[in-house]
Amino acid sequence: MSSLPLRILVLEDHAFQRAYVVRVLEQLGCATVYEAADGAQALALLEAVGPVDVALCDLQMEGMDGVEFIQRVGTGGQVGAIIISSSLPADLRRAVRQMVSLLGLEFLGDMEKPLHGPKLRQLLEKRLQRMPEARPAAQPEPEVASEVQVRRALAERQLHAFYQPKFNLVTGGVEGVEVLARWQHPSGLVLSPSVFMPALERFGLLDEWLYTKMDQALAVQEQARRQGVSVNMAFNLHAGQLASRTLTANVKQLLARHGAVGHGVTFEITESGLLETSTVSLESLVHLRMMGCRLSIDDFGAGFSSMQRLCQLPFNEIKLDAEFVRTLEEEPRCLAVIASTLALGHTLGMSVVIEGIETTAQHRKLLELGCTLGQGYWYARPMSGPDLLCWLKHPQALR
């Protein structure tokens, strides 16, 4: 059996069960295993030996319990990931899993006692797969770009559209692409939106980037048409941009420039941004639909106004938040949410796109639930325009 180069902390107050778990981990080939009988002892141990990759936590114990321990290490970087091992009721374990996610820790799984070796190994291997590989030193990515930097990036066309396909879960066919943003920095790095999107929003540059991105993407769509492929382009639209009285006119102009039609474009608006919708915003939504554009309510289920907004606004697509898929295998309630959303979409005449599909097991389960449209790394990662055009000819090339 191959070894697992991981540092593990076992937090369990029952001496026999703790010894059993330590023995199982050693049999699995874990590099280093530490043990503690309560949270306070575990914190002192971490102070002495340094960070661990995984903490395997019981929750209910005398002294500092596992819940408080997780809260204490959540912001300190002392633990990389958490596995829960507890006999507490399922609803309490669910709440702790949510707490783990909110603290920014990776949640690997929830195991019943006594622990099953093969299942534990599977969870630990998942942690290994997600751990960053050692890489040569590179220029660090700036935390957030300045106004001067993003204005220069826009002016010098350093911001580029990237594309992640949406697919039919049944046939594997391409249903469209979501148009994302990347910064091809002069340093040679490709920077993520977290570096520059806050600055674009803060300094009123979202519209300029939207139209630049649309111009790039519609040019790629035009090239795809010449290859005999029709592909819908989906653009993320900040809810505040709907209040612009020039939005629909600019969209119409861009479509005309590239010989595109409205039904070849989707606008995805995040649900959390739709808490208050002005008459101008509603007018923009109506005009976009009148032009033939599709409207998608993005990250559905992550906000608090879903049902009301579905009734009030002219959306014709729901994109279910990726969190429901991410915990699909460990959380039975997620199955109910997905099934209910599919039924809701069917009743309202809206298509439902499932975000965040990363594994074959998730894909298989979603098919069983009746899902037909999805998006995620299991199918394709975001890619540049030239790569997308190549991929549309040979969809397996970049899988």
Reduced to 3 states (helix: H, G, I; strand: E, B; else coil), residue 113 is: coil
Active-site pick, 175, 178, 271, 355: 355
Enter the tokens of residue 59.
Answer: 């929750």
CA 249, chain centre distance (Å): 32
What residue ranges in 24-137 does DSSP mark as E strands?
30-36, 52-57, 79-85, 106-111
Inter-residue contact 86 to 100 (CB < 8 Å):
no
Task: Confirm whether 355 is a catalytic residue.
Answer: yes
Tokens 């594994």, residue? Answer: 359
Assess contact for 59 and 67: CB atoms under 8 A. Answer: yes
The partner residues of 178 in beta bridges, in order of sequence, read 164, 234
Paired tokens of 127: 């942690």
The CB-based long-range contact list for 195-200 (8 Å cut-off, 24+ gap) reads 195/141, 195/142, 195/143, 195/144, 195/145, 196/144, 196/145, 196/149, 196/150, 196/153, 196/159, 198/144, 199/144, 199/145, 199/146, 199/147, 199/149, 199/150, 200/150
CA distance 54 to 48: 16
Asked if 218 and 260 touch (Cβ cutoff 8 Å), the reply is: yes
Longest distance between any two alpha carbons in the chain, whole Å: 73
- Residues with a known catalytic role: 355
